[in-house]
């Protein structure tokens, strides 16, 4: 099997570290792994396949000989360095929001729109974590009957913000449990421990947040349907890993809950956990560290003719970021596009 030189940009971040683990766990054909990060992380030694790899400082000339560059260091870094990677001959799979809505850049979830990978000009965008898990579950239902409208409320883990947010939640939780009434909030505008914040990313002129509009615009692009009505409310909750979503859809034709369960059980990347009598439904703790998108609480919306409610949970660092990026690279290899 042919092997490839792979670079991870943002290698010491939460998603970058998960990318390294996923590459190893899936036995991706890596010939050489290059780990790139900021100057303050340069020199660190990380493990890959039981070998030590030294983190290097990211620079414009870091991509010589690289076949695949997995970016997860934020939009500003992607905008600055992705073009240099492409010029050096690499295909960039970017986890930031920098290129997602660019008409020249495919936005890909392999279970949903793998054919789009071939339309790239050197850059393929990885969607937002909350969008990924939703479209993986909704696409098989959409294939049965077009979805007219989606109403989604998310319950998103602090790891979506990064390592600093994880540390803030842990620190605040310890202080609250020790009896402190007030704790310091640096990452978020309010205390996140034992609290929920109906606010992810910046507020826009329409009073929705950027995260909410990402779900709207990215879902339409990935599904190839600009007419889907979508309303999102994104909430940060005090858990470490895995995002959960309460999703309500309205379809053109009736899909019963029994039919929906059958469709989803046979769809790729999905596991159905839905036995209410046994209190069986997916939870963030259960999904953490796993690859699938889990769905439960599948039931018909009794307030409208063709409505369904679903509860979707997935590890935001894996399927919501690292795993999806690696799967895109696997599709490129399978289709001989590398």
Selecting among 120, 234, 243, 293, the annotated active-site residue is 243
Residue 181 is predicted with a pLDDT of 84
Could you tell me what percent of the chain has a pLDDT over 90? 99
Residues 57 and 172 in one domain: no
Question: Strand, coil or helix: what is 140?
Answer: helix
Residues 118 and 206 in one domain: no
Whether 129 sits among the annotated catalytic residues: the reply is yes
The residue-averaged pLDDT of 125-149 equals 98
Stated pTM of the model: 0.96
Residues 183 and 64 in one domain: no
Residues 106 and 199 in one domain: no
The residue-averaged pLDDT of 245-260 equals 98
Q: How many structural domains are present in the chain?
A: 2
Residue 206 is predicted with a pLDDT of 98
The residue-averaged pLDDT of 288-314 equals 98
Residue 324 is predicted with a pLDDT of 98
Residues 327 and 312 in one domain: no
The residue-averaged pLDDT of 323-338 equals 97
Are the C-beta atoms of residues 242 and 314 closer than 8 Å to each other?
Answer: yes
Residues 246 and 105 in one domain: no
Residues 147 and 296 in one domain: yes
Whether 243 sits among the annotated catalytic residues: the reply is yes
Residue 1 is predicted with a pLDDT of 82
DSSP code, position 266: T
Residues 89 and 111 in one domain: yes
Selecting among 120, 129, 234, 293, the annotated active-site residue is 129
The residue-averaged pLDDT of 268-277 equals 98
Structural domain of 240? 131-316
Residues 225 and 259 in one domain: yes
Are the C-beta atoms of residues 123 and 105 closer than 8 Å to each other?
Answer: yes
User: In the predicted model, is pLDDT for residue 10 greater than 90?
Assistant: yes
Residues 167 and 270 in one domain: yes
User: In the predicted model, is pLDDT for residue 309 greater than 90?
Assistant: yes
Residues 325 and 301 in one domain: no
Instruction: For 42-68, write each residue's pLDDT tens digit.
Output: 999 999 999 999 999 999 999 999 999
Residues 275 and 162 in one domain: yes
CATH of residue 44: 3.40.50.720
Integer-rounded Cα radius of gyration of the chain:
20
Residue 91 is predicted with a pLDDT of 98
């Amino acid at each position: 099997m042919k092997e490839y030189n792979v670079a991870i940009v943002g290698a010491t971040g939460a998603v970058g570290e998960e990318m390294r683990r996923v590459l190893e766990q899936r036995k991706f054909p890596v010939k050489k792994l290059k780990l790139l990060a900021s100057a303050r992380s340069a020199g660190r030694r990380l493990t890959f396949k039981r070998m030590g790899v030294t983190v290097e400082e990211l620079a414009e000339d870091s991509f010589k000989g690289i076949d695949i560059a997995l970016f997860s260091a934020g939009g500003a870094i992607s905008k600055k360095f992705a073009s240099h990677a492409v010029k050096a001959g690499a295909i960039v799979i970017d986890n930031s929001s920098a290129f997602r809505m660019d008409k020249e850049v495919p936005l890909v979830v392999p279970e949903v729109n793998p054919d789009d990978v071939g339309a790239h000009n050197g850059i393929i965008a990885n969607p937002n974590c909350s969008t990924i898990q939703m479209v993986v579950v909704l696409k098989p239902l959409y294939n049965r009957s077009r979805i007219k409208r989606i109403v989604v409320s998310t319950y998103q883990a602090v790891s979506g913000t990064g390592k600093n947010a994880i540390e803030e939640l842990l620190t605040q939780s310890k202080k609250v449990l020790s009896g402190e009434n007030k704790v310091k909030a640096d990452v978020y505008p309010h205390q996140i421990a034992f609290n929920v914040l109906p606010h992810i990313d910046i507020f826009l002129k329409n009073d929705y947040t950027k995260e909410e509009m990402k779900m709207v615009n990215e879902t339409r692009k990935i599904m190839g349907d600009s007419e889907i009505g979508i309303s999102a409310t994104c909430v940060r909750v005090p858990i470490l890993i895995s995002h959960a979503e309460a999703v309500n859809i309205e379809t053109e034709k009736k899909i019963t809950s029994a039919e929906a369960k059958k469709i989803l059980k046979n769809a790729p990347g999905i596991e159905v956990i839905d036995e209410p009598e046994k209190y069986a439904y997916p939870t963030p703790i259960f999904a953490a560290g796993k690859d699938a998108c889990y769905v439960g609480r599948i039931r018909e919306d009794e307030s409208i003719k063709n409505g369904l409610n679903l509860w979707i949970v997935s590890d935001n660092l894996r399927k919501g970021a690292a795993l999806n990026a690696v799967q895109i690279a696997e599709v490129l290899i399978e289709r001989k596009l590398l």
